Amino acid sequence: MAKILSCDDSRTIRTVVSKYMKQVGCEIVEATNGQECLEVAKREKPDLILLDVTMPVMDGLQTLKALREDELLKSSAVVMLTAVASKELVVEILKLGVKDYILKPFDQKELYKKVNKILRLWEGDAPPHATATDDDERGADACKILVIDDKANVLQLVSDCLKDKHKVLTTTSGPEGITLALVEKPDIILLDLAMPEMDGFQVFQKLKANSKLADVRVVGMSIETQTDLHKRAKEMGFRRILIKPFTKKDLEDLLSAFARPVNPVTRTNDVCIVNVPDKKDPAARQFLQSLVGEINRSVEEMAEEGFSKLVINMGGVDDLEIDMVTRLLALVARAHQLKIRVKFVRPSERALGVLREFQETKQLGMIATLDDAIRSFSTD
């Protein structure tokens, strides 16, 4: 079993590293600053050190130099974690014998690729399998909520108000929030609009640019007088604005509003996505009704706004109602009338069997994943 030392003053980053690497059988030990890193490295003798550049007590560069000057630790394999990869920094860390660096925010694929390049845990960049770690048990009405705000008191307030019924994740940093969102895939993100380093609008753009997070509901947080920020947020696609200061009832009302059915049409950059529910999904009936009204109007609105790419995402569909197929075909026909290109994400073999009963679907090309469908527009 490979042993990895994760050294970062951010609990969020350490949690992310631990969750991902334990899924592929690695042992994780941790340190919160450079001085701790040296102590833990001497004691644990890790196979790899993941070392943050910016830390208190002793930063990453100071720690790296100390590692290289220590007779027992000088040959340690080190990968640096950094939010900014300037040319000067890269040159300096490479001179000190760093194996590689990872730019924050990072995702599972990037971490696995860089770690495996050094430890050779499996063939290729991605592991053949990863064992999911246990998550908290939550009730049927519970949500996983990520709160991103540079004010610790705001994070504490949301956590105190909601932690009994929901899973609440918090971070004070925009880049860390993006990384945490990729790992945890929250149902709702509460995002402060005015933050240092990376503000809420920049975080929102990064979130929506990732197809894995495109349909996560994002709520902006701001004080009442910042009306210009409220307007900008609504124009960008934030679901709601939560006015500070807020109360427990405000948070509960917000979650109640999101418990109601939402438009299943989402956007990733210039691609619109219709997420089709499975026949057994409780949302299927509402979706079927929406195909006549809301979804059809959304497709017409996307054409008016200049969007010309639509994905019918059936990746999570195991079975389909005949009515669902006929209404989807009507939606596709309307999209073609509006000069919108349409791609389909492949459902299960059972659902494919239902689709093949219709002459119109026999020539439809099915694409394996949502990411592949989105990418395919650029190769047409």
The DSSP element (H or E) to which 80 belongs, if any, is strand 78-82
Beta bridge partners of 80: 51, 101
**Which pLDDT score is estimated for 354?**
83
Cis ω for the linkage preceding 196 (within 30 of 0): no
Both structure tokens of 321: 């109602």
DSSP per-residue codes, 146-160: EEE-S-HHHHHHHHH
**Which pLDDT score is estimated for 73?**
93
Whose tokens are 């495109």? That residue is 214
CA 23, 141, 268: angle at the middle one, nearest 5?
65
3-state SS record for 97-111? CCCEEEECCCCHHHH
DSSP tag of 260: S
| All structural domains of the chain | 3-119 (3.40.50.2300), 144-259 (3.40.50.2300), 265-379 (3.30.750.24)
Spell out the residues 6+ positions from residue 25 whose beta carbon is closer than 8 angstroms to its own.
1, 2, 121, 131
Spell out the residues 6+ positions from residue 370 whose beta carbon is closer than 8 angstroms to its own.
211, 273, 311, 313, 315, 345
What is the amino acid identity at position 283? A
CA distance 238 to 182: 18
**Which pLDDT score is estimated for 82?**
87
Q: What is the pLDDT of residues 122-145, one digit of tens each?
A: 887 677 765 544 444 455 457 889
How many helices and strands (H and E) does the chain possess?
A: 15, 15
Ranges of the chain whose pLDDT falls below 70: 125, 129-141, 215, 257-263, 282, 362-363
CA distance 223 to 200: 13
What is the amino acid identity at position 298? S
Q: What is the pLDDT of residues 40-70, one digit of tens each?
A: 999 999 999 999 998 988 999 999 999 999 9
**Which pLDDT score is estimated for 277?**
85
Both structure tokens of 272: 């619109």
CA distance 123 to 178: 28
Judge whether 62 and 17 are in contact, CB under 8 Å: no
Spell out the residues 6+ positions from residue 115 whose beta carbon is closer than 8 angstroms to its own.
4, 21, 48, 50, 79, 121
**Which pLDDT score is estimated for 261?**
46
